[in-house]
Each structure stands twice: as structure tokens, then as C-alpha cells.
Chain A
């Protein structure tokens, strides 16, 4: 399979895949998938479980050494990943987790700045287990952002958080996105989350992109806006969830 990485130029997209195939045994999970994500574009990827969301994300992250496949994949040099679990190393303090593997000058200062940006100033010397679930996920976000990514890949980063923390994390992610403008590929199973955060929502079905929907809503986005509901219904229908007709 051909994989290229390189710095972004003006005309170069943040992700480009062509005829991307990933195979587990004799099952093609990604079937000649074509996808282009522009620089700085916030894209959400929806799909039923088993639709290949995570497979696609792991392919784009180039973490699927053991998976059989073919196709073309172009991604930038600086790609950051965040996972459903915060995946902080329990034996490193929070700051050391954030700057793990970070190269360049003034690494610690950059780490502290990133921690402050996610609202964790003063927690740099804490152990991960001393943080709450939401704080751990913030630290993971700081670890992703301190690398100044051109592309941020997030695999259900809020999936394990409680509803209240999730709302706060949505605001934080959107705010950080506005400030740093990486391209984002957010894998989620939550349609509301996708419509609220992303500028473009994709639905992955049976190894191919079945819906490619641009979200044109003013920010801050309200879930009660009629347009929001329209997008939501379209996506739910695409995911095969029948919507009961509610009368207000």
C-alpha cells in the first residue's frame, strides 16, 4: 500500500485516501474508500458499530501495521491522536505525559502552556490517577495539541465521560479548534455531538462513505434550532434509526 507523508502545501488536503482497502481475514472492512479532508476542516465520522470507523481512523493514524490492505493514503507529518480512554501513562506525572516524546526547544514550557489551555494549570505534578475522568481527558487533549498537529484524530474521545463533563469538553474542543485550526477527524456514535461540533459529517456504511453532509449552522450552535434538528434527522435516517414523528 502506498503511504505518503509530508508537509502541507496550500493545495494539499489534510487527508486524502484513494481506493483504501482494509481487510480482516476475508472480510473487507474498508472497500475502496475515497476520502478527502481539507486543511483545517472539522469532520465528524459517524457509523454503526462494525461499520469500519475505527479501522479507518487507525489506518489514517497509520497504526494498523498488522492489517492487510491496499490503496493510497496521504496524511501530514504532524498527526495527533486521542482515544476514548485518556491513555495517560500511570507512572508519569501529568506534565511528563503531555510532553512525552515531544521534541524541540522549551519542551516543558510548551507542556505547561498546553495544560493551562485545557484548564489544568497547577496540576502538572499530579499523578494521572489523581485526576477526574474529565481532567484526564483534558490532559490527553493537551498532549495532542502540544504537538501542534496539522491533523487531530479523535476516536470517541468523550465516550467514557458523563453528560455534564461531555458538554464542557465539547465547548473546550471547539474553542481549541478555533484557536489552532487543525484538521479534525472525530469518530463518534453520537449524532448530536457530530452536528454540534463538526462542519462536515460523514456516515460510514459497509466500508464506504454513504453520506457526506456539510453542516452550515452559526455558532454557538443550539440543539434546539430547527436546522439542527433537520441535520440530526437526516443523519439518523442514514444510520437506519427510524425517527418517530413527534407533534409539539
Chain B
């Protein structure tokens, strides 16, 4: 049988091959009978493997600049960008602007996460909360936070308050949508278990609701972090007098592409680092889960 199968599989490509005298247990060349089965998961993780992609990107950029393929007026070379970054660091401009930007994003993230989670718990645990909150928030979801910018400027002016509010709004909606989805998706059998064990409301929230909605919380947090950078970039172009966005806007006026790149790289590093940080926390907190990623 094995032999027949092997023959069938090798027909046409391997006809000159002499037939073996005894039936082969391992079959023809199309067979892989030794070792383990074909793996369908992504396989073993490499330490710092996530950095390979970005490193490759920088390499391509550097090669293109060094070979003269990239005009420095269009895009400065990595070397120039690093030198400019060093200059900006020395003069203190970069740190000052970065700190201001981080503060804005951080405050927006803090308020957004808090509001999103509180709203999700309120909507997920009570019918009145669901009826009052979920509708408006689903509608808000359809309106990009940045589309509300004119209204927010009208209400809050162009100061820090408006900037933090815009960022927080975007974060809150992401947090709400994902945390709420995860929370309402908690298996009802766990709710029944909690009732059977006579858990109090507080204990039910701490032991069942919060851990059960953490997977969604982290999805929301990662989207929220990304959206906080996005909001930051936009609000820093509106009448700001400091921040990375302002620094880049100024550079545009003077055609300093290297400064713009420094700003972009700073945004990129923030985004990448914050996402990595959220992932690290997520892995630690959700260590009870068994997933495809392992």
C-alpha cells in the first residue's frame, strides 16, 4: 500500500528510478515520515525578533542615501538626521519639545483610559448603563475624534486643555469599544458560577469581570496608545508653541527635512516603544492564556 502510494506520487518525475525490492516503510521522496508533523503555528519566538523589521527599513534608507539614489533635499540621510538630532539634543530643543509632547500624550492617555474603562464597566454591568451609554458611544465611534476638532476649539480654545481633550477622546472610544466587547463576551457560565459561590458585587468585578475583560482592555490600550500619538501629531500642528509637532512645523517653513525626520523618528520611537511596553505588560498579566502566539 505504502509502495503503491509512493509510486503514484512519483509517477512522471521519477520513472527511471528502479523499484525497490522490498516495500519501503518510509515511502517515496514525497513522504516525510520522520520527525514531527507539519507545524501550523508560527513557531518558536526569537529574542528581540520584533526589531528585525525596523532595522531592515533603516538599512534600506541608509543604502539609498549613501548610493546617491536619494536626494538629500527630499530626504536627508540617516547620518545627517543623527547629526541633527545630536545638535538638537545639545541645544536642548529636542528634550524640551519631547517632554511637552509626552506630557500631552500621557495626560490624554490617562484620562482616555480611565474614562473608557469606567464607561465600559458601567455599560457592561447594568442595563440602564447599557441603554444610556452604549448608543451614544457607538455613534461617537463613527465620528473620528479629529473631526470634532473645530467644535472642541470653539469650546475649549487652543490651549493645552483642548489638546489633551482631543487625545483623550480618541483613546476613550478605543478603550470603551474593546473593553466593553470583551466584558460582555465573558461566558455566562462564569457569572452563574459567581452567583453559585455567593460572590459580592465587588468580588465579582475584581475576580470575574476585570480579569475576563483584560484581553479586550489590552487591545483597546494598544489602539488607544496609537491613537494618542495620532491625536498628538494633529493637535501640535494647531497653534502650538512647543512640542515635537511644532518643531516639525517650524522645520517645514525652513525646508529642514532632517529636523522633520528627527521628529518623525521620535514619534516612531514613541509609538514602537509604547506598543512594546503594552505588549510586555499584556504578556505578563495574561500569562494564564494559551494562544497561537504562545
Residues of A that sit less than 8 Å from B by CB: 61, 63, 80-81, 83, 85, 87, 89-92, 100-101, 127-129, 143, 147
Contacts and interface: CB of A to CB of B under 8 A. Distances in A.
A101 B203 contact: yes
Interface string B182-223: 000000011011111111000100011001101000000000
Nearest to B192: A63
B199 A101 contact: yes
30 contacts: A61-B196, A63-B192, A63-B195, A63-B196, A80-B196, A81-B196, A83-B189, A85-B189, A87-B190, A89-B190, A89-B208, A90-B288, A91-B211, A91-B286, A92-B207, A92-B211, A92-B288, A100-B199, A100-B207, A101-B194, A101-B197, A101-B198, A101-B199, A101-B203, A127-B287, A127-B288, A128-B288, A129-B290, A143-B197, A147-B197
How would you classify the secondary structure of chain B's contact residues: helix, strand, loop or mixed? helix
A90 B193 contact: no
Contacts, number: 43
A91 B212 contact: yes
Interface residues of B, number: 21
A61 B203 CA distance: 20
Contacts of A129: 288, 290
Nearest to A127: B288
Nearest to B198: A101
Nearest to B290: A129
A89 B203 CA distance: 13
Contacts of A128: 288
Nearest to B207: A100
Interface of B: 189-190, 192-199, 203, 207-208, 211-212, 214, 286-290
Given A63-B192, A89-B193, A101-B197, 17 more contacts: A63-B195, A81-B196, A83-B189, A83-B193, A87-B189, A87-B190, A89-B207, A91-B212, A91-B288, A92-B211, A92-B288, A100-B199, A101-B203, A101-B207, A127-B287, A127-B288, A129-B288
How would you classify the secondary structure of chain A's contact residues: helix, strand, loop or mixed? loop
A92 B212 CA distance: 10
B28 to A, nearest CB: 38
Nearest to B194: A101
Contacts of B192: 63
B20 to A, nearest CB: 42
B193 A87 contact: yes
A100 B199 CA distance: 8
A175 B289 CA distance: 34
A129 B288 CA distance: 8
Contacts of A91: 211-212, 214, 286, 288
B289 A90 contact: yes
Nearest to B289: A90
Give the interface centre of A92, A101, A128, A129 by most chain B CB atoms within 10 Å: A101
Nearest to A93: B288
A89 B211 contact: yes
A101 B198 CA distance: 7
Contacts of A63: 192, 195-196
A101 B208 CA distance: 11
Contacts of B289: 90
A129 B290 CA distance: 8
Contacts of B288: 90-92, 127-129
Nearest to B196: A81
Contacts of B208: 89
Nearest to A87: B193
B211 to A, nearest CB: 4
B215 to A, nearest CB: 10
A80 B196 CA distance: 7
A63 B195 CA distance: 7
Contacts of B196: 61, 63, 80-81
Query: Which A-B residue pairs are the 10 nearest by beta carbons?
Result: A91-B211, A101-B197, A81-B196, A101-B199, A91-B288, A87-B193, A127-B288, A90-B288, A129-B290, A100-B197
Contacts of A90: 288-289
A89 B214 CA distance: 13
Contacts of B214: 91
B202 to A, nearest CB: 11
